[in-house]
Amino acid sequence: MKLPVEEANLFFKLMWGLQFFINQQCQILPGIKSANEYADLPVTEKLKVRDKLWKSPNLIDAYAEKNPTVCQLRNWI
């Protein structure tokens, strides 16, 4: 899928927020204090959290409950 620049930026903002939330809930990468800090991590580190996301899609629902404005994520996954 190829998104326009604005939508791609929004996608990554939402995805890093979701993955940061998952990391907070599961403590996969301890010590990460913000979504921006998470976004700056090497891909190899973020893959650990992404893999947890794919194994536990229910975490998307938990994130959406706490952040109702992220319903767009459902359209991209």
pTM: 0.83
H-run or E-run covering 5: helix 5-26
Give mean pLDDT in consecutive 10-residue pieces for the chain, a chain of 77 residues: 88 91 97 96 97 94 82 62
CA–CA gap between residue 35 and residue 22 (Å, rounded): 11
Other Cβ atoms closer than 10 A to 75: 7
pLDDT of residue 14: 85
